[in-house]
A and B are shown apart, each in its own frame.
Chain A
Amino acid sequence: MATIPIESIKRAPFRPDVADAPTVDIRELLFQLEEDGELIVQRVPEPYVEVMTKYGRTKKIPEQMTWHHKSCGQCGHIPGYSTSIFWLNRKLGMEYIDPKDQTSCTGWNYYASATSNAVAQAAVAARNFAAAHETGYFPIIHCGTSYGHYKEVREELVHHADLRAKVRDIMGKLGKQLVWPEEVVHYSEWVHAMRDRIAAGQTRDFSNIVASVHPACHYYKLVQEDAIYDPDLYGGQRTATVTGLIKAVGATVGDYSTFFDCCGFGFRHILVQRDFSRSFATMRKIEVMKEEANPDVVITHDTGCVTTLDQSQFAVRAHQRNVGVPVMSDAQFAALAMGAHPYRVCQLHWHSTDHRNLLEKMGIDWEQAWIEFESDLKRLERNEIEHLSWEDADA
């Protein structure tokens, strides 16, 4: 298989000069619109962490007072993903809201079926952001597609007065103001910003774990400039998010040549044309990782990527393909590093690919952990408890 020479990106670290940025700083345009009375910009609450983005600009990542914009696929099919994000916040003592006044960004459906339009998509985004603003908490986005889509909508709203007027009109009919956050923040950026604190609270040794990274397309390709880059990671040539966390907790990054390839999710394909998703995920990603890095685990930071890379591996085993690597999010990986329960918190039983060898390498007795989780299920069955509580999760 032809490969990209990884050595070529390991030259002198690239430090972008913001003066050479090919784009205008969209936040300045947002503030100008606010000054003109067109919208309200919700400020990032203090304290925040400053990180560098692709063109050398600084982005503020709020530490807490966050309004968690949940993800359809995470909550629906891989709920240990969302649970781990909340668990990390609690473990680090951060105040947050898990709102019911939140809808999906509806981006998955939009990119799959096109049964929507620019006005509707912008109005859905604005409604969610208005709901966050009403609580005083700052939105943090769990889904990579929601994050990318909201940045795309931000571009459209800022540059098209017509669209703004239509969305403002709809917001007015809903009794809401047109609000946009100062920064569109992905949860994995928060994990990245918190990585040293996560490492400081680490209870498990990951020094013998090799992890390969799959970066989510809608995180760093859909609208490119907001993604986090760091000259000390990949020489500043690839997004630093996810990789920074893996290195912080002492694991080894297993590099491979198709890093830039998509996972094969395809939006409509994963639901109604999975032969494509399965082929791409296994032949262009998992098999290449296996051949070139032989990782213990694949770490990514988006709903669709976890789903596609994990669930695609079962069927291709029938064709003797070289697969069999567990897949999870950076949040689950970080939570495991900090001592989270693999089933009560990370909910790994919702994943497909066998994770037991990985847990053993992490020093986790998975058999005992499953027995503990089954005892929880029995308590639930007997209605001794209505739901598993956060306290139960850490018992």
Chain B
Amino acid sequence: MSAVAAPVITFSRTPGATLAPHTYPDVSFEEKLRLWEEVKADVRFPDYLYGCYECGICVASCPSARFYDFSPRKIAQAAAREDVELIYEQMNDDVWNCSQCFSCNRCPRQNSPGGIITVLREVAVRNGLRTSQKALEGYGRVVYKIMTTGTQVSPDMLQPDAFPDWGPDVQAISDNLDLWRRALPPETLHTTTTGWEVAESTLIELYLIWYYSDVMGMIEEVDEGLHMIIVDVMEETLEDAGYEI
């Protein structure tokens, strides 16, 4: 007989019943419940969860389930049961494994485990969970690029030290970047620091969207340093255009 008593497992729709009673004991149940309420308050959440047959179709189609200890079915199940402890564990340990391909949308109950994960991630980022900060380590330059230039990846990101596993052609691209970009017939593509040429008036509108929709607040929660850099770039452009932040 094991010296450790098995956890008591109960099934109920009452928030608090759990299959994960021993994870993250330093975080209070009230805090975990607060985050769960934030998830449920998202306007999209009711469209993503209708119940679960436990059929496993989502798991069978999930690429992440093949390579990680990850299950979209467990995500839907925990949300349906409102297992606050398990949801908190998933919000920290599971959601960043998801590929966001939405293969799981073939669910016969019309659930979207991938959609639930999108909301769980958003709440994790908005509340500055340490695990989300860690998951996004090394990703900051991409956030910077998309928010300040309006394009996600740029030709000058193709550097051998960033993509050593993509083979020697990356070196050739990097070495010839300016010339090869000039050898593109579409006139919007003669850029190296952005995917295409974005008009400054367009960028200003994008910056205003980030401010009006409080994305800036989310960035501040997850990475203060990155937030400062982005604000610097945006404020200068916006002030030059006559906007006060």
**Chain A interface residues toward B at CB < 8 A:** 70-77, 79, 82-83, 86-87, 98-104, 106, 108-120, 123-124, 127, 131, 148, 155-156, 159-160, 162-163, 166, 169-170, 173-174, 176, 217-218, 221-222, 224, 260-262, 264-269, 271-272, 274, 276, 278-280, 284, 311, 314-315, 344-345, 347, 349-352, 373, 376-377, 380-381, 386-390, 392-393
Name the CB-closest residue of A to B155: A76
Is B146 touching A262 in the complex (CB atoms < 8 A)?
no
- A174 neighbours in B (Cβ, 8 Å): 205, 208-209
Interface string of B153-170 (1 = CB under 8 A from A): 111011000010111010
* Most chain B beta-carbon contacts within 10 A, residue among A72, A148, A162: A72
Name the CB-closest residue of A to B184: A79
Is B183 touching A344 in the complex (CB atoms < 8 A)?
yes
**Chain B interface residues toward A at CB < 8 A:** 42-44, 47, 61, 63-64, 66-68, 96, 99-103, 105-106, 118, 121-122, 124-126, 132, 135-139, 142-143, 146, 150-155, 157-158, 163, 165-167, 169, 172-173, 176, 179-190, 194-199, 201-203, 205-206, 208-210, 212-215, 218-219, 222
- B106 neighbours in A (Cβ, 8 Å): 221
- Bound together, the chains give a CA A217 to CA B96 distance in angstroms of 18
Which of B101, B163, B203 is within 8 Å of A217, CB to CB? B101
Is B182 touching A111 in the complex (CB atoms < 8 A)?
no
- B214 neighbours in A (Cβ, 8 Å): 117, 119-120
Q: List 21 contacting pairs A-B, 8 Å CB cutoff, sorted by A.
A: A72-B151, A76-B153, A77-B153, A100-B196, A100-B198, A101-B202, A104-B150, A113-B139, A115-B215, A116-B215, A117-B213, A123-B212, A221-B102, A280-B67, A314-B167, A315-B167, A345-B185, A376-B183, A377-B183, A380-B179, A387-B184
Known: A70-B196, A114-B125, A314-B165. A109 touches B47 (CB 8 A): no
Is B185 touching A114 in the complex (CB atoms < 8 A)?
no
Which of A108, A163, A347 is within 8 Å of B152, CB to CB? A108
Is B206 touching A127 in the complex (CB atoms < 8 A)?
yes
- B190 neighbours in A (Cβ, 8 Å): 387
Name the CB-closest residue of A to B68: A276
* Most chain A beta-carbon contacts within 10 A, residue among B103, B125, B196, B202: B196
Known: A381-B179, A387-B190. A170 touches B212 (CB 8 A): yes
- A352 neighbours in B (Cβ, 8 Å): 166-167, 169
Is B187 touching A98 in the complex (CB atoms < 8 A)?
yes
Is A221 touching B103 in the complex (CB atoms < 8 A)?
yes
Is B152 touching A87 in the complex (CB atoms < 8 A)?
no
Name the CB-closest residue of B to A123: B209
Is B205 touching A276 in the complex (CB atoms < 8 A)?
no
- A260 neighbours in B (Cβ, 8 Å): 61, 103
Is B209 touching A82 in the complex (CB atoms < 8 A)?
no
Known: A106-B152, A115-B125, A116-B218. A83 touches B184 (CB 8 A): yes
Is B101 touching A155 in the complex (CB atoms < 8 A)?
no
Is B182 touching A387 in the complex (CB atoms < 8 A)?
yes
- Bound together, the chains give a CA A113 to CA B179 distance in angstroms of 33
Is A114 touching B205 in the complex (CB atoms < 8 A)?
no
Is A114 touching B198 in the complex (CB atoms < 8 A)?
no
A100-B197, A387-B185 given; name 12 further pairs at CB < 8 Å.
A71-B195, A98-B187, A106-B152, A119-B213, A170-B213, A221-B106, A262-B101, A265-B101, A267-B99, A268-B135, A315-B167, A344-B185
Known: A104-B150, A267-B100. A390 touches B185 (CB 8 A): yes
Which of B42, B132, B151, B209 is within 8 Å of A76, CB to CB? B151
Known: A113-B142, A350-B173. A73 touches B206 (CB 8 A): no
Is A284 touching B66 in the complex (CB atoms < 8 A)?
yes
* Most chain A beta-carbon contacts within 10 A, residue among B43, B118, B153, B181: B153
How distant is A200 from chain B, measured CB to nearest CB, in Å? 23
How distant is A352 from chain B, measured CB to nearest CB, in Å? 5
Known: A170-B213, A380-B179. A111 touches B173 (CB 8 A): no
Which of B103, B152, B183 is within 8 Å of A104, CB to CB? B152
How distant is A361 from chain B, measured CB to nearest CB, in Å? 21
Which of A109, A266, A388 is within 8 Å of B63, CB to CB? A266
- Bound together, the chains give a CA A43 to CA B206 distance in angstroms of 25
Is A261 touching B63 in the complex (CB atoms < 8 A)?
yes
How distant is A137 from chain B, measured CB to nearest CB, in Å? 15
How distant is B180 from chain A, measured CB to nearest CB, in Å? 8
- Bound together, the chains give a CA A72 to CA B209 distance in angstroms of 19
Is B105 touching A388 in the complex (CB atoms < 8 A)?
no
Which of B68, B202, B208, B222 is within 8 Å of A173, CB to CB? B208
Known: A83-B184, A222-B105, A388-B183. A115 touches B222 (CB 8 A): yes
- Bound together, the chains give a CA A159 to CA B44 distance in angstroms of 10
Which of B43, B68, B101, B165 is within 8 Å of A218, CB to CB? B101
Is B122 touching A102 in the complex (CB atoms < 8 A)?
no
- A388 neighbours in B (Cβ, 8 Å): 182-185
Known: A77-B158, A103-B151, A124-B209. A70 touches B195 (CB 8 A): yes
How distant is B182 from chain A, measured CB to nearest CB, in Å? 5
